[in-house]
A and B are shown apart, each in its own frame.
Chain A
């Protein structure tokens, strides 16, 4: 399967600061990456679909100005949580699929804690 990395794995920040999370595909070129958020004891909720070289597609209810997504290369997508608040504390996970294969491969996730 595909190898996907995320950085950082953990981040603690103060309320009002911005946090950038990187998602990298290590062994293939990913034209599409997906960003999910998972609150404790809940399932994964798709936030947005990141497309290389174009604007991301956000799910209903997700603020595009708060969760900035950049997919400038075929191996890197970034999610920036701007002006983070405690309610943004969550587990953020990126994933991708290897082109025609529909299976999604997940990164290890980034746990964000906003104080």
Chain B
């Protein structure tokens, strides 16, 4: 089992819709979770971090964490074409390394 899993996509949503990105992880002891956005040919940029169960909101982005289910998600409200990118879920494991998922490609259709 891979340590961090994501649907590779592509996920297509119309402009203005909600995009929902999901991630599962295998290390039950993980405490720190991150969502990064990566545009083609660029390095990742941090969108959000989350450490506690529940929701964390920042503008149009909401991260959701459920440690019991080993599941973390990212919701993007009012999706814009500029949100089209690959979204990487990252988990800091119990052995202190940050492991990235394979990424989900999101396409927001105008």
Contacts and interface: CB of A to CB of B under 8 A. Distances in A.
A83 interface: no
Contacts of B25: none
A105 B46 contact: yes
Interface string A78-115: 00000000000000010000000011111111010000
B27 to A, nearest CB: 14
B44 A106 contact: yes
Interface string B71-110: 0000000000000000010101000011111110000000
A44 B88 contact: yes
Contacts, number: 39
Interface string B21-40: 00000000000101000000
A106 B43 contact: yes
Nearest to A108: B43
Interface residues of B, number: 19
B70 interface: no
Nearest to A105: B46
Contacts of A93: 43-44
B49 interface: yes
Interface of A: 1, 34, 42-46, 49, 93, 102-109, 111
16 contacts: A42-B102, A43-B101, A44-B44, A44-B100, A49-B97, A102-B49, A102-B92, A103-B46, A103-B49, A104-B46, A104-B98, A106-B43, A106-B45, A108-B42, A108-B43, A109-B43
